[in-house]
Structure 1
Amino acid sequence: MAKLIYGAITSLDGYVADADGSFDWSMPDDEVHAFVNDLERHTGTYLYGRRMYEVMRAWETMYGVPDMPRVARDYANIWHQAHKYVYSTTLAEASTENTRIEPSFDPDAIRELKAGATSTISIGGAQLAGQALAAGLVDEVHLFLSPIIVGGGKRALPDGARLVLELRDEHRFHNGVVHLHYDVKNSP
């Protein structure tokens, strides 16, 4: 059975976007980006909400562009090859390859997907990940804490969720970002 992994780049106070919806402060440098690439290298499927998909689909246009920085070219290749499921009530069709639109998030369908998958499944977008966390579907959480406090916005982790986590690893980067890797143990 494949693992479902939630990863997010957050502010130190736990937001993936500030109150204005901006996340420009979270752009990874080459060192962090290379680390993320290594984490994502075994991802065969991405699960996204519509907004996260709209941000991530830029990687489709970067696929095969030879004059991009190596870390960006590497990630574009990883992203392009993976399957993508987008949960949206407003998108009628996908604008990227290997992408399927689903009208709603179905925990039972994700359990089936995990049972049949042979590679890692990544879930992106705080709202969608919150649903998966609440349903007990997430196996690992990877948080990249950025050295900034934004004071409000879109939370990386959902309110009301209560999960027991076990710290598996941490890593400090030269730019002040700290990566925390947790296994989700259970709901208390």
Structure 2
Amino acid sequence: MADLVYTAITSLDGSVADADGRFDWAAPDEEVHAFVNDLERGAGTYLYGRRMWETMRFWEQDSREIDSSPISRDYAGIWRAADKVVFSSTLDGVTAPRTRLVPRFEPDEVRRWKLAATAPLSIGGPGLAAAALAAGLVDELRWITVPVVVGGGTRWLPEGIRADLELVDDRRFGSGAAYRRYRILG
């Protein structure tokens, strides 16, 4: 059975976007971006809600921004090589290769995917991750904090969820960002 992993880059106070919906302050520098590439390299399938899909599909297209950086080109290759599942009842379709649209999140279906998968599944976006956490599907949390406090916004973890965790890895970066990897126990 493959793990379902939730990775987020957040402010120190736990937001993935500030109160205005901005997340430009979370853009990783080259050191952090290369580290994220290595984290994501093994993912076989990405699970996204509509909003996260709309953000991440940037990596599907060729662009000067991607082409100008070896680290960005590497990430684009990693992302393009993985399967993607987009959960949305409002999208009419998705046109990116290796991507399929599913109208709603069904925990039992995701459990079956985990059982059948040979590589980890990565879940992106706090709304979808909240549903997966509530269903007991998430096996691991990967948390990168950047040295900024935004004072509110979209939280990376939902309220009302309790989980015992085991710290299995941590790292500091030159920018002041920090990484922590937790296994969810039981």
Give yes or no for the alignment of 1:166 onto 2:166. yes
- Pairwise CA distance, 1:68: 2.5
1:97 offset after TM fit, Å?
1.1
Report how many residues are paired: 186
Partner of 1:183: 183
Contact 2:66 2:72 in 1 (8 A): no
1:161 and 1:68 mapped to 2: Cα distance? 41
Q: How many angstroms apart in 1 are the aligned matches of 2:102 and 2:13?
A: 32
Render the CA deviation track for 1:151-175: whole Å, top value 9, x for unaligned: 0110000010000110001100000
Q: Which amino acid aligns with 1:18?
A: D
Q: What TM-score does the superposition give when structure 2 sets the normalisation length?
A: 0.97
CA–CA distance in structure 1, aligned partners of residues 50 and 88 of structure 2: 5
- Retained in 2: the 8 A contact 1:8–1:124? yes
Whether the 8 Å CA contact 2:47–2:121 is kept in 1: the answer is: yes
Q: Which residue of 2 is the match for residue 43 of structure 1?
A: 43
1: CA distance, partners of 2:65 / 2:13: 36
The answer for the alignment partner of 1:15 in structure 2 is 15
Q: 1:85 and 1:185 mapped to 2: Cα distance?
A: 26
Q: State the partner residue of 1:25.
A: 25
Note the 1:29-178 alignment, pairs <5 A: 29-62=29-62, 67-178=67-178
Match for 2:159: what amino acid? D
Q: Bigger shift: 128-137 or 59-68?
A: 59-68
Contact 2:169–2:181 under 8 Å retained in 1 = yes
**Gap regions ≥5 residues in structure 1:** none
Work out the CA distance in 2 between the residues paired with 1:68 and 1:78.
17
SS in 2 for 1:43: coil
Specify the SS of the correspondent of 1:7: strand
User: What's the Cα RMSD here?
Assistant: 1.4
SS at match of 1:168: strand
Moved over 4 A (4+): 63-66
Identity percentage over the alignment?
55
Contact kept? 1:64, 1:77, Cα under 8 Å: no
Structure 2 unaligned spans of 5+:
none
Q: Is the 8 A contact 1:63 1:77 kept in 2?
A: no
Instruction: Decide whether the 8 Å contact of 2:66 with 2:76 is kept in 1.
Output: no
Give the Cα separation in 1 of the matches to 2:63 and 2:105: 28
User: How far apart in 2 are the matches of 1:62 and 1:130?
Assistant: 32
TM-score, normalization by structure 1: 0.96
